[in-house]
Structures are given as C-alpha cells and as structure tokens.
Amino acid sequence: MSIEEIIKAVRWCIDEESNNTSEITDEKDDLYMDNIIKSKINDALHWIAITAASSPVLSDSKSIGSTSDTIQVSDFDSNHNIGVITMPSNMEIITINRIRGASWYKAVTPVEDTDDEALMMYDDTAKGTIDRPQAAIMRENPIKILMQPKTSTAVITYVGVSKSVSTDASTTDVSIPDKLKNAFIYYIAFLLLSAYDDTKASQMYTIALQQLGVNQTSK
C-alpha cells in the first residue's frame, strides 16, 4: 500500500464520517493535510502490531495474509546444535506461524523461550531432531528465533507490518496485510480527527477495533 493510497483512503474516511469535514479541509491546504496523515502512519502501524497480536483476527492467521522469507541461520549454541534466526528489523512482527529448517522433515510452530517446552533443547533425550525439530521465540528487538537442529537457512512464515516507514515519497510501499488495512486506515483517521476535537473521532476508533474483532467495551 503506497503512501499516496493511504492518504486517499484516510481522506475518504474523513469525507464520509466527519461532522467537521468542511472546516478541516477548507482551513488547511491539501499539502498540510497530507503531511499530518503521513506523520500518523508509523504510530498507526505500531498500534496495529500491538492490538492485532492479541485480537480475535489472529484466530485464523492464515487468512490474514502471511509472508514467507528464507533467512540465514547463525550459531547460538554449537554444543547443543542450536541455531538462531534474526527477524527483519524493518518489520513489526505480529505472529510467527511456522518455521522450517532447510533439512527438516517437517515445520513447527515456535513456542515462547519462557515456555518449559523450550528447555527440551538442552535435554539430550528430548532435543530437536530433523524429524522432530524445535523452535522458540526470543522477544528481543528485533525478534529472534532459536531452532534445533541448526540448518544453514530456514523458511519463516509470519504476519507483520512495516516499521519506521519513510514517508518522504508518495510511492513508498507500506507492508500491511489486506485484512488489517481497514483497521489501519480508520486508526489514522481517528488520530487525525482527535487532533481537531472532532466528535466522530471516537467512532473511527470503534470501527478500527471492530475491524480487528475487538469489542471496545472490553478494552
């Protein structure tokens, strides 16, 4: 989704929903409004990553639109044949669906490294093998994934959105799954209308949450 497409979509929301559309658009020139919208993009991406991670929309994460990358594996603990993958630093990772090492017979869904199951990597009787591999997520910045046995590369399937996007060029691509786009656009509209104390701002926020399957009364 390009910056230009985002601006058009947010403006459409404002035209359709805002009580004070004429006041907002008439008092400020187009460039000024566009710059305000651009300034909210990274905040909205961060909000999407945090909110979607715990929302019902992830109950069927395959339908959201996942990304698959082949990533180089580095050594983490050579004594236990554990490798580590560093996720792209330019992405906010919402969820990791699966990982498959180059020589593994099957893919696995990684557990958290705080889970007791992650300790199995250090148990000679239960450690990961090519037919029963193991993986664990390390919540660092950027996110890392431990994998056993270590391979040269691994294919990671995950759901994520862009992070720290440069909004200087209108053609800049903002990576966001199709199923999260509406929530993203409505949240930017919420931020923009909030700045103008528009009474429709709260409605925009409610719609953004609804797009993620979240009931605002539970927030």
Which residues lie closer than 8 Å to 119 by C-beta, 6 or more apart?
none
Instruction: Report the phi/psi class of residue 30: left, alpha or beta, with left for phi > 0 and alpha for psi in -120 to 50.
Output: alpha
The pLDDT score that the predictor gives to residue 60 is 61
Q: What is the pLDDT of residues 75-101, one digit of tens each?
A: 999 999 999 999 999 889 988 999 999
Cis (ω within 30 of 0) for the bond into 88?
Answer: no
The pLDDT score that the predictor gives to residue 219 is 44
CA distances to 37, 132, 134, 161 from 11, in Å:
9, 51, 47, 22
Domain boundaries, the chain: 3-59+177-218, 66-160
Q: What is the pLDDT of residues 114-165, one digit of tens each?
A: 999 999 999 999 999 999 999 999 999 899 999 999 999 999 999 999 888 8
Average pLDDT over residues 93-114: 95
